[in-house]
Chain A
Amino acid sequence: MNIPGKKLLLRNEMMLVAAILILSIVINIKSPGFYSFSTLFDLCRASYVQLIFGLGVLIVIISGGIDVSFPMVGIFSAYTTITIMDKLHFSQNGIIIPILMAIVIGVILGGFNAFAIAVLGIPTLIATLGTAGIIRGLMLAGVGSRLIQDLPNGLDHLATSTLIQIRNSGGTLSRLHLLIIPISILVLALGWILRRTIFGRSIYALGGGIESARRLGIPTKKLQVRIYLLVGGLAGLGGLMSVVLARQADPYSLAGSELDTIAAVVLGGASIAGGYGSVFGTVLGVFLIALIRDNLILLGISGSWERAAVGALLIIGIVTQAFIRKMKKRETQESHAEVQK
């Protein structure tokens, strides 16, 4: 009954890997030359920001909540940081200070969510919808609504920092952005936290059932506060990175990007009902959506279909996940029935 490797095949992550492979093969047939470093590096660059946001969303979804405020938290943190830098005529090469500042602002804004959710007990969707509105209003009315095009020197340099560059046969250069290193570290660190720390396992426990988690001895309110502070910090970082990569601070950017990010995380195997999800799945989900968004045109499909493609993918992904769960459940019950005999 036990086919080796069956367990591996039945994992959601493997389905995503397969989807990415098949899609890329099809694209490569339609448009030879797709398989190249330049494609890979571009895809990475297109994924960085969504990945940072996605990690935050993942944590919230595992804990049984949903966060729609992260784009606003992100852009508020980034835009305010740039504005302050601008006012202070901070034009040095340092990048630590602005990054820390954006993260701290993100954590403070995350505190709004934490207060609304853990203290006032408001459902997470409503709470974050509310804070998103407040934060946007505060930024546009209080901080500014002007497009800022000159970033501090350090951040500007970061925008074009390259880790590796490879000369293509055509003579053009393909560049892998330096950000791949800190982002990989972030991904690994969060993966470790979620799998191997009591804090991480408590987040899963919270998503499995808040009442059961409390009876287990988990301080659920304190945990929620920590979750939303952490996620706020991640959103602040994500916001600043989006500004860096765009090389301008546009207060109107990022609005509306929440649905794509949530779709990527859910596609990555996170259950909207809470309790399930993995960092690896989220990485793949983000990558798959970036692949579709950037390359639909190579398949000869009009860019207008991008939204429809992401939507269809989401539905197919969720149906597949439900199927996988059913198969797993059947297998487990069979093996337990054998034990009982």
Chain B
Amino acid sequence: MQQSEFSALNISKFFGGVAALEDVSMTIKSGTVHCLAGENGSGKSTLIKIMSGVHSPDKGIIKLGQTEFKSLTPITSMMAGVQVIFQDFSLLPNLTVAENIALPSLLQGNAKVVNGREISKIAKSALEKIDISLDLQSYVEDIPVASKQIVAIARALNQDVKLLFMDEPTTALTYKEVKKLFLIVEQLRKNGTTVVFVSHKIAEIQEICSRITVLRNGQVALEGDMAHLTAKDISSAMTGIEISSSKIHIAEPSAEVLLKVENLSSDDVVKNVDFELHRGEILGITGLLGSGRTELAECLFGLKKITDGKVIFEGKEISRLSPPKSKKIGIGYVPSDRLSEGLFLNQNILRNLIAATISNYRNSFGLLNKNRMRQGGQKWAEIMRIKTSSVDAPVTSLSGGNQQRIVLAKWLATQPKVMMLNGPTVGVDVGSKQEILSLVSEEAAKGIAFLIISDDVPELVQICHRVLVMREGRMVQTLKSDEIVEEVIYRELIK
């Protein structure tokens, strides 16, 4: 095959005078998996949008194979073989798997009439390219996230893709699903598709990519072969500071048992779970998707019905848990989907910060005191080191890491005794991740007990006193101090 390349040369792009990209060059060798890394706001998305024709650059040129472009439109970029799988997949939930895969090529072919058999045929042949079979007639909104991703990949493959951008494809996937995705990416590469893998998870980048471009503040911070780079090189290029992902200092938990769970079961998803949680302890709960880790937390917060077993909190048995009751006795829960479940997206930062403690800001007439609300919000923004010019800015203007800190702050303000965090650093960049984990360890030292539900192994290693492993609803292993190393946890996870 001809050795062609895809490159963006000396690209600059300004939005209202602010440089999103400044003199950025990236060259992607054909037939490789290239990583595009960088923290939120570093310009990754802008670069993808320029190469896929959504934005046109203010300076610079784009070379796709032999052809040079001053700017692209979505159509010319697609014609040249560029496809993007967006983070949200851009699928249509109300159409079937087959239609989602086949519609774009039918639209391009200017078809007027469609028939089900033809659609199924197109969809099937796309899925065969990656050796996967899915129920073609299911509605996309009903299928699990991992299947949605496969639909998005199949759709791109259908359109003679030469250069495929995958924007943070692993964010919503579990460990096992990520492995499967990597197999697919490898297969695509073998079939001659060039893949640009956008991610900030260093372990994944090292596993799958052969070259890397790191962006920071709209400029190229690092470009090179993965073979010559260490994880530390990459993370310091991303953040601009040296980050040690060594163990964060955590204070010893007290001997006092705060929460005791005995023989807890819920339907078929949580089975006979026992554990104790001490004051000031950080307890990790891990397991693959479907292991019951999320359901366990939902039981303890009263979102899911407990069918058997006891929950003893501060020595007293608690029956009939419900979210308001949990909140009242001091159990907080930050769900994994912070965008839809943890934040009021159309409100500002201030209102989000004080949302869970709004009743503390009433005056004697029961009306809200605006000054005290503002003071309270600003206090928490400071404690949480939220990077923003003003607490009146919309919460959507913040990066993922800052948003997660707001959810955390909202709950910490209620002065909980137990905080359950589900995937606390999912979709959060390296720098913010470290800050969130340090905040957790600081709060734990003050006596709050944390339950960290996560399958991010390095994070568990960094912060947990103990790690419980779940499989098929059961608690199968308890790991203590010395046993909490990455290899051991990985081994337990995939057993």
A residues with a Cβ closer than 8 A to B are 196-199, 201-202, 204-205, 207-209, 211-213, 215-218, 271, 274-276, 328-329, 332-333, 335-337, 339-340
Contact = CB atoms under 8 A, between A and B. Distances in A.
Interface in B172-215: none
Contact of B135 (A197, A329, A336): A336
Interface string B99-116: 100011011100111110
Contacts of B493: none
A211 B108 contact: no
Contact of B113 (A197, A213, A271): A197
A323 to B, nearest CB: 15
A172 to B, nearest CB: 47
B224 interface: no
Interface in B143-173: 143-144, 146-147
Interface string B120-151: 00000000000001110011011110110000
B358 interface: no
Interface residues of B, number: 33
Given A215-B90, A217-B107, A336-B147, A197 B114 contact: yes
Nearest to A273: B94
B143 A205 contact: no
B477 to A, nearest CB: 22
* B contact face: mostly helix, strand, loop, or mixed: loop
B488 to A, nearest CB: 26
Nearest to A211: B90
A333 B144 contact: yes
| Shortest 8 CB-CB contacts between residues of A and residues of B | A275-B94, A208-B92, A332-B142, A208-B94, A212-B90, A329-B142, A215-B90, A217-B107
Given A198-B111, A336-B143, A213 B94 contact: no
A24 B112 CA distance: 42
13 contacts: A198-B106, A198-B113, A199-B112, A202-B107, A205-B92, A209-B93, A215-B74, A218-B107, A332-B135, A332-B143, A333-B144, A335-B138, A337-B290
Contact of A198 (B94, B107, B138, B139): B107
B344 interface: no
Nearest to B137: A332
Interface of B: 74-75, 78, 86, 90-95, 99, 103-104, 106-108, 111-115, 133-135, 138-139, 141-144, 146-147, 290
A138 to B, nearest CB: 36
Contact of A339 (B90, B134, B141, B290): B134
Contact of B92 (A213, A271, A335, A340): A213
B142 A215 contact: no
Given A217-B108, A332-B138, A207 B94 contact: yes
| Of B75, B91, B95, B135, most A-chain CB atoms within 10 Å | B95
Contacts of A336: 134-135, 138, 143-144, 147
Contacts, number: 85
Contacts of A198: 106-107, 111-114
Contacts of B133: 339
A196 B141 CA distance: 21
Given A201-B99, A336-B143, A216 B113 contact: no
Contacts of B107: 198, 202, 216-218
A196 B95 contact: no
A216 B89 CA distance: 11
B135 A196 contact: no
A340 B94 contact: no
Contact of B139 (A211, A216, A332, A337): A332
Contacts of B75: 217
Contacts of A204: 92, 94-95
A115 B311 CA distance: 61
Contacts of B146: 340
A205 to B, nearest CB: 5
A335 B144 contact: no
B104 A196 contact: no
Contacts of A329: 141-142
B144 A208 contact: no
A81 to B, nearest CB: 31
A275 B111 CA distance: 21
A262 to B, nearest CB: 19
Contacts of B115: 196
Contacts of B93: 208-209, 275
Nearest to B141: A329
A211 B75 CA distance: 16
Given A198-B107, A198-B111, A333 B90 contact: no
